[in-house]
Amino acid sequence: MSGCHCPNCGSKKVVSRMVNDRLWAADPRGSAFEIPLRVLVWSCTACKLCWQGEEAVAAREVAYQKALGRQPQGRSAANVD
């Protein structure tokens, strides 16, 4: 991930880490269930901002599709481990 910088202060001193996250989905009968996943978050060492990038969005999409028993389409699976 080159060229990543803080969206708040513009610093290039950003670090990434994996955190446990979760999202909620509904099965075909309308029952909500929780999907645990790990997503990549960025944090800025200059201003301490934390944010999730497109990696996290992709990981959520993949986890959601997997939970519903579908194969993700149109994009390569994100490495969520």
Q: Which is nearer to Zn ion, 8 or 16 (CB)?
A: 8
Minimum CB–partner distance for residue 2 and Zn ion (Å):
17
Q: Is 11 in the site for Zn ion (CB under 5 A)?
A: yes
Site residues for Zn ion, window 40-59 (CB under 5 A)?
Answer: 44, 46-47, 49
- What is d(CA 29, CA 10) in angstroms, rounded to the nearest whole number? 46
Q: Contact residues for Zn ion (CB under 5 A)? A: 6, 8-9, 11, 44, 46-47, 49
